[in-house]
Amino acid sequence: MATSASYAFLDIQPLSKGHALVIPKFHAEKLNDVPDENLADILPIAKKIATAVGVPDYNVLQNNGKLAHQEVGHVHFHIIPKPEASDTQGLVIGWPQQKIEMDELKKYFEDLKQKLQ
């Protein structure tokens, strides 16, 4: 599948049947390096693929940098069907929740709001 701004194709090392990638045609290694107009159709394409695969549970994943498990130096979004509740198909992840004091969280939120303006 291709649009004027993006490509979509099946992953050659899938985690499950239907595992696909959506990539912008604009070359950039990290998401924050891609101009917004080159990202406009990424999620609509991901949604179409997720619907076409027909599995009700799936992950949409996008990694930035080696520490975040990015293996390919081009922005890409994974659509990974999760066909069963097991560790044999689909994405398998841990979620190492961090404890944070509410005052610290509020301060961080205020700092972020300033940067987003």
Two tokens at 85? 């509740």
| pTM score, whole prediction | 0.85
Residue 76 is a catalytic residue? yes
Residue 60 CA, distance from chain mean position = 5
Active-site residue (options: 69, 74, 76, 78): 76
Mean pLDDT on 18-40: 97
pLDDT digits (tens, 9 = 90+) for 33-79: 999 999 999 999 999 999 999 999 999 999 999 999 999 999 999 99
77 pairs with which residues across the strands? 22
Could you tell me how many residues make up the chain?
A: 117
pLDDT digits (tens, 9 = 90+) for 87-96: 888 888 877 7
